[in-house]
Structure 1
Amino acid sequence: MSEPTARRPRVAVVFGGRSAEHSISCISAGSVIAALDPERYDVVPVGIAQDGRWVLEDPSSNRLELGPGGALPTVQGEESVQLSPGASPELVVSPADEVPHVLGEVDVVFPVMHGPFGQDGTLQGLLEMAGVRYVGAGVLSSAVGTDKQFMKRLFEAAGLPVLPWVSVTPRDWARDEAGVRRRVADLGLPVFVKPARAGSSFGITRVDDLADLDAALDEARRHDPKVLVEAAAVGAREIECGVLAGEGHDDHVTSALAEIRVAEGHAFYDFEAKYLPEENTALDVPADLPDDVAARVSALSVAAFEALDCEGLARVDFFVFPDGRVVINEVETMPGFTSLSMFPRMWAASGVDYPTLVDRLVRLALARDVGLR
């Protein structure tokens, strides 16, 4: 009698969501789904619609990529999906006007989520309660990695270098508007005004004249009531580094470094420079840096990863000044996975191709314990 064939691990790729980065999440997920080997994994695409519904998505019916003229994709599935917690968490599908049926046990979730209501610890908390393993940072790390105010506080507490900054909450503004304006002025000009908990450069404005501060705050508040104002890194180069968690108790590993050079016409690395035609941005990988500066960036990448207690992966963004000074900009706990995204491109330049990278992340998630770690 032949031995039963081992079941392929079932990977639920979850994407979309309620944040402004819904479409970017869809694009990233399309790349991840295509990279997962169907002979090794049973892949289930689960979209979170913009109204918060979980649906079974068919990537063949919804092109998870930029359309003509930069048209953005959205989640379009119709069959509702629920995650049933328990010793063997399962996906339950509820077609319209039909009896719900169990799709099967979920071994690991790949949450390709960007921004609030997904990357910020909310989805991670749900998965922890359901007892499901997942790719990437845990609840606290995801929350802090999404909130730039608390991220910078943790960096400062760990003795890591950051640019001068102030946060502006609705309460701050209501209680002491004049004081907020003074603190912003003390940063010097120019400054960048950005939503504290958004990504993909949504809502960011460069301010060169304090007369434009109110309009910049209003733009940031369209995405988040809490705003971060940060001194500009004038003359600095933008450098990025990818980090992968070590397997078991092995040391974390860093990728080749990359430098982002934004084309003229972009005041900073904005949405169009990130996601639209590649002539907007040049990526130099490996970045042309002195050996000692490159070593410092790599070491600070691991230090930032550990300061936030990250798991799985992260992209760490830096400013490197002409005098060699290195400052951490931010950490992305679930960096973009689109075809133009820097994280997979840095690892490709380090000898880890896209399918191998995705496979490693899934294996890391499958190997870690659920619950407190």
Structure 2
Amino acid sequence: MLFEIPKKHESGKNFSRRCVMVKKVAVFFGGKSAEREISVLTGVLALRLIDPAKYAAVPVYVHSDGGFYTSDEAFYLETFKTHPFPLKKFRRCVFENDELLIFAPKKDRLLKREKIDVMLNCCHGGAGENGGVAALSELFSVPSASPSVAACSVCMDKEWTKLFLSAAGIPVLDYVVLTREEYVRRGALALKDVKKKGFPLIVKPASSGSSIGIAVIENEEGLKKATEEAFLYGDKILFEPYLENKTDINCAAYRRNGKICVSEPEAAFGDGVYGFKEKYMKEKPRSDSGDTADKSAARTPLDEEEIGRIKAYTSAIYRRLETLGVIRVDFLKSGENLYVGEINAVPGSLAYYLFCERLIDGRRFLSDLLEEPFSGAKRDVCIPETGVLESVATGGKRGFTGIRL
């Protein structure tokens, strides 16, 4: 049977009472994204860490074909290492209001209905992180323990992020935006404003995470090649100045009992380019000379004033996003200057490690996230009946009579 509540001997006391009280959590992960594998790691971690005494985790794997699938096998990382992917072990599922409908593989026979109490988004990149999963929650009025559609949209597009941060008075690096349409139309002329910034530069896709597609452009000769490679990952790219002797710093925030909790900042990376391989493949950073450097030696300690500024900026960003769930803010420190590089609405491993010393402490952290949508006073938004349709008929120059659209 799919998604059994843990057996009595596994979960401790008062099993029958918990069977009634347990909340069902739909954990979304995977997706049509270059970050799918990172999302699998976050999703499986969440499925295994969710407290079975309080919740029943329901995996919702978003396959590369865009479909939703579920299976008991989704709780095991080894399942996703299998090639080709064992889709026959999964069941297709769809949402209908607040229920997940699970179908048998043959003849699309309805196998099971799962009433979902809360959603948790573990999708990195693509339609999962850009607000797509959040939209499901809002459309079907299912509480979400993850950031909202608006917050995801602002965080996913790096240009929108910079506009949002600038309006909030939070420092960002100067930048130039280039779209594929403009580059195709104008060719080399489209790079004129980029060249004015000088070299070296960083180029990055505007809507790609996990540092995918990021590159350093040392001189004008490498500009065209780096630009076209960045466009492989999206239709809009950004150019920023490359900072020497900088440090990458992470800080996260979430809401617990209505209050914003901010982590201690962590110096994640030293001088060099914090690319995908450096983040996830255990490679050392690339320094200005192209050589690898000792990551720990490259870290710059933060003084109390810098720690205070980072935490204040993180709290202000979270408050202005007006959201729930956890976000991670990535800072760049260069000399005395501090900049926000980007905001992650679905950070890797949900950034539990910035709040927890031990993996097992992540269980309490996840419980905090999952309970927050149910805390505080809630009220339904008023949707008035306007009566407009009663006096409208089809026809006329505008297509309708009795109203001016």
TM-score normalized by structure 2? Answer: 0.79
Q: Among all aligned residue pairs of Structure 1 and Structure 2, give the percentage whose two residues are the same amino acid.
A: 26
Instruction: Determine if contact 1:207/1:213 at 8 Å carries over to the other structure.
Output: yes
Which residue does 1:355 correspond to in 2?
363
Specify the code of the residue in structure 1 equivalent to 2:361: D
Partner deviation per Cα, 1:8-62 (whole Å, 9 max, x = no partner): 1000111101011111101111111110112221111110100101001334675
Which residue does 1:81 correspond to in 2?
93
Are 2:299 and 1:290 aligned?
Answer: no
Are 2:116 and 1:111 aligned?
Answer: no
Are 2:375 and 1:367 aligned?
Answer: yes
- Report the Cα distance in structure 2 between the residues aligned to 1:21 and 1:275, rounded to whole angstroms: 11
Are 2:190 and 1:180 aligned?
Answer: yes
Written as runs of structure 1 = structure 2, the 5 A alignment for 1:1-373 is: 6-59=20-73, 62-63=76-77, 76=87, 77-85=89-97, 89-98=98-107, 99-248=109-258, 250=259, 252-261=260-269, 267-277=272-282, 282=295, 288-322=301-335, 324-337=336-349, 343-349=351-357, 353-367=361-375
Q: Which runs of 5+ in 1 are unaligned?
A: none
Tell me the CA shift for residue 310 of structure 1.
Answer: 3.6
From the superposition, tell whether residues 102 and 306 of structure 1 become closer, same or farther in structure 2 (CA, over 3 Å).
same
Q: Which runs of 5+ in 2 are unaligned?
A: 1-15, 286-293, 383-405
Question: Secondary structure of 1:222's partner?
Answer: helix
Quote the RMSD (CA, aligned, Å).
Answer: 3.0
Specify the code of the residue in structure 2 equivalent to 1:218: E
Question: Secondary structure of 2:66's partner?
Answer: coil
Specify the code of the residue in structure 2 equivalent to 1:82: V
Tell me the CA shift for residue 140 of structure 1.
Answer: 1.0
Tell me the CA shift for residue 109 of structure 1.
Answer: 1.0
From the superposition, tell whether residues 361 and 162 of structure 1 become closer, same or farther in structure 2 (CA, over 3 Å).
same
Specify the code of the residue in structure 1 equivalent to 2:330: D
Question: Secondary structure of 1:6's partner?
Answer: helix
Instruction: Give 1 or 2 for the bigger CA radius of gyration.
Output: 2
From the superposition, tell whether residues 72 and 273 of structure 1 become closer, same or farther in structure 2 (CA, over 3 Å).
farther
Question: Secondary structure of 1:117's partner?
Answer: helix
Question: Which of the pair is proportionally richer in helix?
Answer: 2
- Report the Cα distance in structure 1 between the residues aligned to 2:210 and 2:85, rounded to whole angstroms: 16
- Report the Cα distance in structure 2 between the residues aligned to 1:262 and 1:4, rounded to whole angstroms: 47
From the superposition, tell whether residues 275 and 190 of structure 1 become closer, same or farther in structure 2 (CA, over 3 Å).
same
From the superposition, tell whether residues 124 and 64 of structure 1 become closer, same or farther in structure 2 (CA, over 3 Å).
farther
Whose RCO is larger (CA < 8 A, sep 6+)? Answer: 1
State the aligned residue count: 355
Question: Secondary structure of 2:95's partner?
Answer: strand
TM-score normalized by structure 1? Answer: 0.86
